[in-house]
């Protein structure tokens, strides 16, 4: 275990609390980001409990470094304040447990043990906002062709290769009506007006 907090009294109190639990082994304390980074690289702790605001950085900075220096370390962020943006940024950098500094002793121990087992705990009042932001990010990163089903993509590839709908129907063992329905769905999903525009989108994606 590693505790990283630049408030020495609080950090030492957290260490004493955690070491008093039989489930948790020895706990090392670091009093800042740089000290914490050095301990992280040297010890590769199972779990690191990190204050969000440090004199020389943030808990999110620590989580970023942990992804490179000690990927197996589970990072638990403690914070007196929380915003959806900060929680979202933490999640993007591997943090799965975020706790208020007012957390009770038993809940802190349970959260640390849960983190060690790979489980997550995020503020309930922010969970929807964080999940919504993650979905929007994934949607924005996806290309337009990701909206298509496997069959629709197969038909669009055939059209881009110069095949007629009749030829595709024979090749895929589908009726021409089924092909026509798939083409209509492709045009709608890609938000274009013609098959030629859909083919152009496909060709651009292949050139990337």
What CA–CA distance (Å, rounded) separates 5 from 62?
11
Which of 43-52, 53-62, 73-82 shows the lowest mean pLDDT across its residues?
73-82
**Reported CATH class of domain 2-140:** alpha beta
Pick the CATH number of 144-207 from 1.10.260.40, 1.20.1440.230, 1.10.10.10, 3.30.930.10: 1.10.10.10
Domains 2-140 and 144-207 share a fold: no
137 vs 102, residue with greater confidence = 102
pLDDT for position 71: 93
Q: Cβ contacts of residue 43 below 8 Å, gap of 6+?
A: 2, 28
- The string of pLDDT tens digits covering residues 116-133 is 999 988 877 777 788 787
pLDDT for position 164: 93
What CA–CA distance (Å, rounded) separates 133 from 141?
12
Asked if residue 139 has pLDDT above 70, the reply is no
203 vs 5, residue with greater confidence = 5
- The string of pLDDT tens digits covering residues 153-174 is 999 999 999 999 999 999 999 9
**What integer is the mean pLDDT of 81-99?**
86
Choose among 54, 138, 47: nearest CA to 94: 47
pLDDT for position 140: 60
> DSSP string spanning 86-120?
HHHHHHHTT--EEEETT--HHHHHHHHHHHHTT--
Q: Write down the domain spans for the chain.
A: 2-140, 144-207
**What integer is the mean pLDDT of 175-197?**
93
pLDDT for position 198: 92
- What is the bridge-based pairing of β-strands 2-4 and 53-54? unpaired
């Amino acid at each position: 275990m590693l505790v990283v907090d630049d408030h020495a009294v609080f950090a030492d109190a957290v260490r004493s609390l955690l070491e008093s639990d039989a489930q948790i082994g020895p706990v090392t304390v670091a009093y800042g980001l740089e000290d914490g980074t050095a301990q992280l690289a040297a010890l590769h702790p199972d779990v690191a409990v990190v204050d969000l605001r440090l004199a020389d950085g943030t808990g999110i900075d620590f989580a970023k470094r942990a992804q490179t220096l000690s990927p197996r370390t589970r990072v638990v962020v403690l914070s007196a304040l929380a915003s959806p943006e900060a929680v979202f940024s933490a999640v993007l950098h591997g943090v799965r447990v975020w706790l208020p500094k007012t957390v009770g002793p038993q809940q802190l121990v349970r959260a640390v043990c849960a983190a060690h087992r790979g489980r997550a705990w995020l503020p309930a009042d922010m969970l929807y906002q964080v999940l919504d932001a993650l979905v929007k990010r994934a949607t924005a990163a996806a290309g337009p062709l990701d909206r298509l089903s496997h069959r629709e993509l197969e038909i669009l590839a055939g059209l881009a290769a110069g095949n007629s709908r009749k030829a595709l129907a024979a090749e895929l063992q589908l009726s021409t009506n089924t092909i026509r329905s798939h083409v209509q769905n492709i045009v709608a999903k890609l938000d274009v007006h013609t098959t030629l525009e859909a083919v152009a989108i496909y060709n651009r994606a292949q050139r990337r």
